[in-house]
A and B are shown apart, each in its own frame.
Chain A
């Protein structure tokens, strides 16, 4: 693989996972109360994908990573301040709702359009990365739909590991039912990989990477095209949160078996 991969990572923001969310009916459909004020993080599954992409690119000379993000421009800007220090990437921004109350087909279309417009992207070297699911209440089908739109037929939708042989063959460890893995080999790109967890920890913040990324981030945000959803007629009839019950008990260093037993007892009880 002398020319390296062109890795496009699909990933956007979600409300911080510890926030209390409250659905409300807005003028254009369901939304989260005070959504623009909620602290946002990079969707955890997309974060795995981004870190894996950066790791692969660093190990494969000539590779490049793009992060294609669809979200409200102002919130994307905030998000970039947090993640731009992590790994090198070039941002491609699309200004639109990241609420999750959107039709994945429309989202996929917007993302695929944005990818097709990346001027220096070599589709023959393309690895499309994303999360196998999202914390933004989507159906976990976006990578698949974008892949189809880009005519990528080799798709792996719950990957935990990707290795590349010296000959450029991609080996993907993919989760299947029953707690087992399916091991697949692909002769090379293009292919789409939706990550389940990956193996890499969150990289430390590197100020030099941040400064380098920021050179492309602000221009990308400034020229982000605005997307309006709902044109294909999707209507959300109702939205509600799953019922939850909160019982807090702070315990340190409890053995994992005891923790499991306690949870099992609680469920049974």
Chain B
């Protein structure tokens, strides 16, 4: 199939791209302005393929200054977006540990002691202290709170309403098509295949879609972006070794909850010091609540779901959340290397935008608006090139898109943020101080830290829990849980002092119930598995098996011969297995032993 422009993935970046481009394709009376090469006389033919079964896929608690998004839409238009609201109140809370199970370094214990001694003089209550001042780089006032799902859905509807671009959900893209080093389009996934990819039933081989320009906006674990990285490598000095798993729920707050619409709460310090949390209040008593577990949190039994529940039940948050009902749930990983994770942005026939292109600002914790901005920048470049009749070559895209990006606020702020989190690699307090210094000096002074790959840093279960659980007991837990075919994390957390969660059936529910209540699990028949264990001998000898304990949907479980087994029906496509595998790829130490390729499905809730 021939088209002019094909986009991979529909998120904020491609939303910004298509919104800007679609407004330039025809003039007010419908006359073609930017003419198609494949359909002469018609406007540029633009297609977008999205893996998820609807365009409102997304998982994010979005609070954003929305500079770029506001430049694309009027205030009246933005007011139409369901669940969007202006920020009305901000708090940053340092959460102390009311249970005594948290791993707190001597430095953090000292901080707790100081807070305890001064609590009468501080805005302290319910085991938390509110920072009296929010550093400018973290402030979100004048910003907006969004549901990413509703934002995407609204933008997609506007785009489809123009009739000028086509966005197709439920259609994963398998790979880029190359002619030499030029990208000449994409190949869609095979359909009508079994879980191993062998034809079965209504086999339909993935169609080739040829295009003059392939816009890659498939996020941090997108298959096309991954394959471009493997082919072209990352620019010198760049890496993608820092990431986080974000897990969230959208909840309906109890009628007597005192939080006002537009309230924004950020937390740190609990359930483990390294875990950050957020609570954003949408209109109609809906709220996004969630946590981020960063790559520098070394627990190999890193179950985000259990930690999310402990975070929600912290007294300072529970007083707001008690009586709430879960309306949706989800998780995604974030590429948090920021500008240092930037891949090769352009080449002959392709350009990369959004989170997968390294646009997320790791200091301000902002990614949606930055992603949107990169999409707008590429669209402006495409309009310039198409107007001038120039081809989408690397040289031309460098001179138009990359130049715009380098000159923009996205780039300037990303440079400031570039080394802001390095300190976290050496310890939580050092990281916190480093982040503050970077922010206050606008990147001129940074605290150093050595970024390590997952397989260089994740310790064994025995090593991590050696101060809490005797070795023999860990062995016994391993034996029992392996035999039962369930992950270790609950046993390890229970034994480490974390109380079991008392389910209330509304907000505090089992992990599997969250999967069922929190959206819909899409695993359309006829697609192959998208998660694979590349060298199974390595898996069989792996003592950490972080892929199992870290899996957001319990889709990876212990299997025969110690090789994990994957259940596509439960996978929510967060990609955490790809990032946190503790074993390197057999031939490429920059990759892990988990393969995460194109696949259909993912948990989908339009309000995440």
Asked if A85 contacts B170 (CB within 8 A), the reply is: yes
Is B168 in contact with A210, judged by CB distance below 8 angstroms?
Answer: yes
Q: What separation, in Å, do the CA atoms of A74 and B510 have in the docked complex?
A: 35
> How many angstroms from the CA of A218 to the CA of B167 in the assembled complex?
13
Is B441 part of the binding interface, using a Cβ–Cβ cutoff of 8 Å? no
Which residue of the partner chain, among A36, A77, A203, A248, contacts B160 with CB atoms under 8 Å? A77
Contact B606 A206 (CB under 8 A): no
| Residues B82 and A37 in contact, CB atoms below 8 Å apart | yes
**Does any Cβ of A come within 8 Å of B202's Cβ?**
yes
A78 touches B168 (CB 8 A): no
Q: By the criterion CB–CB under 8 Å, are B525 and A202 in contact?
A: yes
CB distance B516 to A18 under 8 Å? yes
CB distance from B384 to the nearest CB of A (A): 27
- A256 located at the interface, meaning its Cβ lies under 8 Å from any Cβ of chain B in the complex: no
Distance, CA A140 to CA B116, complexed state (A): 65
Contact between A201 and B157 (Cβ–Cβ < 8 Å)?
A: no
Q: Is A109 an interface residue when CB atoms closer than 8 A count as contact?
A: no
Residue B13 lies at the interface, judged by CB distance under 8 Å to chain A: no
Q: How distant is the Cα of A81 from the Cα of B521 in the complex, in angstroms? A: 19
The docked-state distance in angstroms from the alpha carbon of A208 to that of B168 is: 11
When A37-B607, A38-B606, A208-B207 are in contact, do A78 and B153 touch as well, CB less than 8 Å?
yes
Contact B161 A77 (CB under 8 A): yes
Q: Are A82 and B1 in contact (CB under 8 A)?
A: no
- B191 within 8 Å of A by Cβ? yes
In the bound complex, residues from chain B placing their C-beta under 8 Å from that of A17 are 520
Is the Cβ of B157 less than 8 Å from the Cβ of A77? yes
Complex: chain A residue closest to B56, CB-CB: A39
Q: Answer yes or no: A120 CB below 8 A from chain B CBs.
A: no
List, in ascending order, chain A residues with CB within 8 A of B207's CB: 206-208
B574 within 8 A of A: no
- Tally of contact residues, A, Cβ under 8 A: 33
Interchain residue pairs with CB less than 8 A apart (11):
A18-B519, A39-B604, A81-B156, A81-B169, A82-B170, A201-B201, A201-B525, A205-B191, A207-B171, A208-B1, A211-B166
Task: Give the residues from 30 to 88 in chain A that come closer than 8 angstroms, CB to CB, to chain B.
Answer: 34, 36-39, 74, 77-78, 81-82, 85
Inter-chain CA distance A219–B161, complex, in Å, is 10
Contact partner of B55 (CB less than 8 A), chosen from A78, A202, A210, A219, is A78
Within 8 A of A (CB), among B494-546: 505, 510, 512-513, 516-517, 519-521, 524-526
B157, B160, B607 — most chain A CB neighbours (10 Å)? B160
Docked pose: A204 CA to B607 CA in angstroms = 27
> What 0/1 readout, one digit per residue, does chain B (160-202) give for beta carbons within 8 Å of chain A?
1101001111110000000000000000100110000000011
Q: Which of A250-269 contact B (CB under 8 A)?
A: 250, 252
CA distance A77 to B171 in the complex (A): 17
Task: Assess whether A246 is interfacial by the CB under 8 Å rule.
Answer: yes
Interface flags for B591-608 (1: CB within 8 Å of A; 0: not) read 000000000000011110
Contacts of B53 in A (CB 8 A): 82
In the bound complex, residues from chain B placing their C-beta under 8 Å from that of A37 are 82-83, 150, 606-607
A248 touches B607 (CB 8 A): no
Report if A16 contacts B (CB, 8 A).
Answer: yes
A 193-213 contacts with B by CB, 8 A? 201-208, 210-211
User: Cβ of B520 and Cβ of A19 under 8 Å apart?
Assistant: yes
Closest Cβ–Cβ distance, residue A223 to chain B (whole Å): 13
Across the interface, A85 reaches (CB within 8 A) one of B171, B567, B605, B606, namely B171
| A250 and B512 within 8 A (CB) | yes
B54 at the interface (CB under 8 A from A): yes
Contact A248 B606 (CB under 8 A): no
What CA separation (Å) do A211 and B38 show in the bound complex?
Answer: 14
A151 at interface (Cβ–Cβ under 8 A)? Answer: no
User: Are A201 and B202 in contact (CB-based, < 8 A)?
Assistant: yes
In the complex, how many angstroms separate the beta carbon of B512 from the nearest chain A beta carbon? 5
A78, A204, A252: most-surrounded residue (chain B CB, <10 A): A204
Contacts of B163 in A (CB 8 A): 218-219
Which residue of A is nearest B510, CB measured? A248
Residue in B1, B53, B192, B201 whose Cβ sees the most chain A Cβ within 10 Å: B53
- Across the interface, B520 reaches (CB within 8 A) one of A16, A81, A214, namely A16
Write the residues of chain B forming the contact surface with A, with a CB cutoff of 8 angstroms. Answer: 1, 47, 49, 53-56, 82-83, 150, 153, 156-157, 160-161, 163, 166-171, 188, 191-192, 201-202, 204, 207, 209, 327, 505, 510, 512-513, 516-517, 519-521, 524-526, 567, 604-607
Q: B residues within 8 A CB of A81?
A: 54-55, 156, 160, 167-169
Residues of A222-254 contacting chain B, CB below 8 A: 246, 248, 250, 252
Q: B599 CB to closest chain A CB, in angstroms?
A: 14
The reply on A2 being an interface residue by CB < 8 A is no
For the complex, give the distance between the alpha carbons of A77 and B56 in Å. 13
Residue numbers in B under 8 Å from A252 (CB-CB): 567
- B161 CB to closest chain A CB (Å) equals 7
| Further contacts, 17 of them, CB under 8 A, given A81-B167, A205-B171, A210-B166 | A18-B519, A36-B82, A37-B606, A37-B607, A39-B605, A77-B157, A78-B153, A81-B54, A85-B168, A204-B204, A205-B168, A205-B191, A206-B204, A207-B47, A208-B207, A211-B166, A214-B166
Contact residues in B for A19 (Cβ distance below 8 Å): 520
With A39-B606, A81-B55, A246-B513: A74-B157 Cβ-Cβ less than 8 Å: yes
Q: Is the CB of B191 within 8 A of A204?
A: yes
Determine whether the beta carbon of A248 is less than 8 Å from that of B168.
no
Residues from chain B with Cβ under 8 Å of A78 in the complex:
54-55, 153, 156-157
Chain B residues within an 8 Å CB radius of A3: none
A20 within 8 A of B: yes
Question: Smallest CB–CB gap between B462 and chain A, Å?
Answer: 29
Instruction: Give, as a whole number of angstroms, the nearest-CB distance from A217 to chain B.
Output: 9
- Within the assembled complex, what's the spacing in Å between the Cα atoms of A17 and B604? 13
Interface contact A203-B202, CB-CB below 8 Å: yes
Bound-state CA distance A204–B60 (Å) is 30
Complex CA distance for A55 and B606, rounded to whole angstroms: 32
List of B residues within 8 angstroms of A218 by Cβ: 160-161, 163
Bound Cα distance from A74 to B156, whole angstroms: 11
CB distance from B207 to the nearest CB of A (A): 6
Most chain A Cβ neighbours within 10 Å, of B157, B327, B512, B606 = B606
Q: A210: nearest residue on chain B (CB-CB)? A: B168
The CA of A208 and the CA of B169, in the complex, are separated in Å by: 14
Taking each of A18, A82, A202, which has the highest tally of chain B beta carbons within 10 Å of its own beta carbon? A18
Chain A residues lying within 8 Å of B516, measured Cβ to Cβ, are: 18, 248
Asked if residues B170 and A39 are in contact (CB atoms below 8 Å), the reply is no
Which residue of B is nearest A221, CB measured?
Answer: B161
Which residue of chain A is the closest to B55 with respect to CB atoms? A81
Shortest beta-carbon distance from B271 to chain A in Å: 25
Cα A211 to Cα B1 with chains together (Å): 10
The 3 A-B residue pairs with the shortest CB-CB distance in the complex, in nearest-first order: A204-B191, A218-B163, A18-B520
Shortest Cβ distance from A20 into chain B, in angstroms? 6
Q: Which of the residues A20, A39, A208, A248 comes within 8 Å of B54, measured between beta carbons?
A: A39
Residues of B within 8 A of A205 (CB): 168, 170-171, 191
Distance in Å: Cβ of A233 to nearest Cβ of chain B: 32
Which B residues lie within 8 Å of A74 (CB)? 157
* Contact partners of B167 in chain A: CB under 8 A: 81
B520 near A39 with CB under 8 A, answer yes
B526: chain A residues within 8 A (beta carbon): 204
Closest to B50 in A: A81
Determine how close the nearest CB of chain B comes to the CB of A98; give it in whole angstroms.
16
**Which partner residue on chain A sits nearest B49 by CB separation?**
A207
Residues of B within 8 A of A202 (CB): 524-525
Residue of B nearest to A206 (CB): B204
A19 to B605, CA, bound (A): 9
